[in-house]
């Protein structure tokens, strides 16, 4: 049984960001979402380049494992990002997430890296298929953080695995799933789950059968919630292929991009294995390639294709020696001889460009570290200090040998007197929004102090003497003179020492710290 994807996609810059670093593609056999990062110049380049490098996979009838093709092409896209950085130092540090699915026969090959997400609704079960490659997710897996604490963790957005120039061979999550007509998939950037919880997403997925309406509803709900990040959504329904679907798929046997790279029809079968990473890619060629198949392209990849503002990857070895940034205009096809003669001057310019770029990057890194440390000092958490509960200012992390927190307030609450549940929470630290919130947490801990048996308040002290009866007292009582101010001020040191020794020798059964916080 031949299967295809029915799809809808939408991307929005959100309510805060000035540009869209997300890209996405959806077609009959391929769906992919990429969330770029890297500041002003790099995020949109990374996501657009990666998505456009994968679109040629949108075809049917892979002779062998389609998952291997998908993984290999993602690794190739990673190499191309490194090549872009090597020829454009200003792009250093750029990267992107990738969440992709490729349909072949009745199997879906799935590949994932980063914190974009994939959800599936199948057999009335809605589940998250992907795993976030974030710092807080690693803490959760190690048992050092509870899932409900992840949303307020100061490092919740730190990614551990992405594509980019940071790793020559990044580790991908790869899986294969059985496909069946009627199942629905959702691919999204983290701009969606940063605003909407899974229950809301599931409700919309279940209650909105129309794919376009479903995408629009999720985006509008995210925007209504403030949308601090770009949001990109792809909805894919698995369906039985029609004769028209099969005819359209046959048109993509040899993508025009391969022809433009110098390959002649009939040289090799169009398996995708021989796709050269150095093939020149131009906007008009990509548009022609995409026009041969039903698809939806959104985000930075769509902007790059429509305007020609895309990175041009070097062809073969010597035809092109530089790559264009996404923010630059496309070069004209009519390159004159004078431009070629200027090539000799480029190495001289690069001699000072590289040190200048490194200096700027060093200054930027120092600024980021300084502002990052300053930000940590606006945070608070509650933990243990010398066996007692204490409030810390900062975050419970270190930067090498440098701690990022210090004790701000100490308390008289012994940790040993707390219930086991509260002691376990303290071991993992209790994050607070501010100092007032931390003080509220301490107050709650004080209320939950373990009750320690205390002697009854009305038990007589062993040294207590009989109290005179009321009658005897009335007969013998005489008013005692009040001590003069001089007498109280000139009390002898020996008297003070005696009083202190007497007080310390008697255990105070009413001490709240020893009796579960109950005053006697």
Distance CA 441, CA 419 (A): 15
The domain that holds 18 is classified in CATH as: 3.60.40.10
Residue 387 lies in a domain: yes
pLDDT at 259: 35
pLDDT digits (tens, 9 = 90+) for 415-425: 988 888 888 88
**8 A C-beta contact, residue 413 and residue 430:** no
Is the Cβ–Cβ distance between 282 and 9 less than 8 Å? Answer: no
Give the sign of the dihedral formed by CA 155, CA 156, CA 161, CA 167: negative
Same domain for 211 and 146: yes
Residue 386 Cα distances to 164, 341, 423, 434, angstroms: 44, 72, 14, 23
In tens, the pLDDT along 31-54 reads 999 999 876 568 888 999 999 999
| Number of domains comprising the chain | 3
408 shares its domain with 365: no
- Contacts of residue 227, defined as CB under 8 A and 6 or more positions apart, other chains included, come to 12, 14, 15, 16, 191, 195
Task: Tell me: do 9 and 114 sit in the same domain.
Answer: yes
Please indicate, yes or no, whether residues 220 and 368 belong to a single structural domain of this protein.
Answer: no
278 plus 353 within the same structural domain: no
Taking the C-alpha atoms of residue 42 and residue 96, their distance in angstroms, rounded to an integer, is 9
Residue 503 maps to a domain: no
| pLDDT one-digit tens code per residue, 86-118 | 888 888 888 999 999 999 989 999 999 999 999
**What token pair was written down for 224?**
């209504």
Strands of the sheet containing 117-122, edge to edge, are 3-12, 231-240, 184-188, 117-122, 125-128
489 is a domain residue: no
Q: Do residues 415 and 355 both lie within one domain?
A: no
Reported as a pLDDT band with limits 50, 70 and 90, residue 127 is very high
Residue that finishes a domain, picked among 427, 447, 467? 447
> Could you read off the pLDDT of 289-328 as tens digits, one per residue?
777 789 999 999 998 887 665 443 323 223 333 333 343 3
Same domain, 358 and 278: no
Q: How confident is the model at residue 247 (pLDDT cuts 50, 70, 90)?
A: low
Q: Which of 401, 366, 292 is nearest to 58 (CA)?
A: 292
Contact, 389 vs 426, CB < 8 A? yes
Collapsed DSSP state (helix, strand, coil) of residue 25: strand
Question: What is the residue-wise DSSP string for 148-183?
Answer: GGGGG-TTTT-BS--EETT-SSPPPEEEEEE--TT-
**Domain of residue 114, residue span:** 3-307
Largest Cα–Cα distance in the chain?
128
For residue 73, is it within any domain?
Answer: yes
Across the range 467-496, mean pLDDT stands at: 43
Listed residues 256, 280, 307: the one ending a domain: 307
Question: Quick one: what percent of the chain has pLDDT higher than 70?
Answer: 69
The secondary structure of 370-402 as a DSSP string is: HHHHHHHTT-EEEEEETTEEEEEEEEEEEETTE
DSSP tag of 134 = B
Regarding whether 366 and 231 lie in a shared domain, the answer is: no
DSSP 402-421: EEEEEEEEEEEEEGGGS-HH
State phi, psi for 87 to the nearest 5 degrees. -95, -10
Domain stop point among 328, 357, 375: 375
Residue 164 lies in a domain: yes
In a domain, residue 106? The reply is yes
pLDDT of 250 > 80? The answer is no
In a domain, 38, yes or no: yes
Is the residue at 191 inside a domain? yes
Q: Do residue 355 and residue 428 come from a single domain?
A: no
- Indicate the pTM of the whole model: 0.56
Domain match, 124 and 97 both: yes
Q: What are phi and psi of 8, to 5 degrees?
A: -155, 150
Q: Do 163 and 293 belong together in one domain? A: yes
Per mean pLDDT, which range of 8-22, 319-333, 337-351, 424-438 is the poorest?
319-333
| Integer Cα distance of 239 and 29 in angstroms | 11
Regarding whether 237 and 131 lie in a shared domain, the answer is yes
């Amino acid at each position: 049984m031949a299967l295809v994807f029915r799809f809808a996609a939408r991307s929005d810059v959100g309510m805060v960001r000035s540009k869209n670093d997300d890209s996405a593609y959806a077609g009959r056999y391929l769906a992919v979402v990429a969330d770029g990062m890297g500041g002003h110049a790099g995020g949109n380049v990374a996501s657009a380049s990666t998505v456009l490098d994968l679109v040629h996979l949108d075809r049917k009838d892979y002779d062998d494992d389609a998952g291997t093709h998908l993984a290999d092409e993602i690794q190739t896209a990673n190499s191309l990002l490194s090549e872009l950085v090597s020829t454009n130092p200003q792009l250093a540090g750029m990267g992107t997430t990738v969440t992709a699915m490729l349909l072949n026969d009745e199997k879906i090959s799935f590949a994932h890296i980063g914190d974009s997400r994939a959800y599936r609704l199948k057999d009335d079960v809605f589940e998250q298929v992907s795993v976030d490659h974030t710092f807080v997710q690693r803490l959760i897996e190690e048992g050092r953080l509870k899932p409900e604490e992840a949303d307020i963790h100061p490092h919740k957005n730190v990614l551990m695995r992405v594509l980019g120039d940071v790793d020559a061979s990044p580790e991908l999550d790869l899986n294969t799933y059985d496909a069946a007509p009627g199942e629905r998939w959702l691919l999204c950037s983290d701009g969606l789950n940063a605003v909407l919880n899974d229950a809301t997403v599931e409700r919309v997925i279940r209650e909105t059968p129309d794919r376009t309406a479903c995408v629009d509803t999720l985006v509008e709900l995210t925007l209504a919630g403030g949308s601090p990040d770009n949001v990109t959504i792809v909805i894919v329904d698995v369906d039985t292929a029609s004769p028209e679907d099969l005819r359209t798929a046959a048109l993509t046997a040899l993508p025009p991009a391969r022809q433009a790279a110098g390959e002649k029809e009939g040289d090799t079968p169009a398996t995708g294995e021989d796709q050269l990473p150095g093939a020149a890619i131009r906007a008009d060629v990509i548009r022609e390639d995409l026009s041969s198949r039903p698809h939806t392209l959104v985000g930075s990849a769509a902007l790059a294709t429509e305007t020609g503002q895309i990175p041009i990857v070097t062809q073969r070895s010597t035809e092109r020696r530089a790559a264009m940034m996404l923010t630059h205009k496309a070069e004209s096809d009519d390159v004159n001889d004078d431009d070629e003669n200027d090539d000799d001057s480029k190495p001289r310019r690069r001699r000072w460009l590289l040190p200048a770029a490194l200096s700027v990057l060093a200054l930027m890194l120092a600024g980021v570290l300084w502002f990052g440390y300053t930000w940590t000092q606006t945070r608070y958490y509650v933990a243990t200090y010398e066996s007692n509960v204490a409030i810390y200012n900062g975050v419970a992390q270190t930067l090498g040998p440098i701690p990022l927190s210090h004790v701000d307030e100490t308390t008289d609450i012994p940790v040993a007197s707390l219930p086991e549940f509260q002691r376990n929470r303290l071991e993992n630290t209790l994050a607070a929004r501010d100092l007032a919130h931390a003080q509220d947490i301490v107050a709650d801990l004080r209320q939950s102090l373990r009750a320690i048996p205390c002697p009854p308040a009305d038990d007589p002290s062993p040294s207590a003497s009989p109290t005179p009866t009321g009658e005897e007292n009335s007969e013998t009582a005489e008013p005692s003179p009040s001590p003069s101010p001089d007498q109280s001020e000139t009390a002898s040191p020996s008297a003070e020492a005696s009083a202190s020794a007497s007080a310390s020798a008697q255990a105070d059964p009413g001490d709240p710290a020893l009796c579960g916080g109950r005053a006697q």
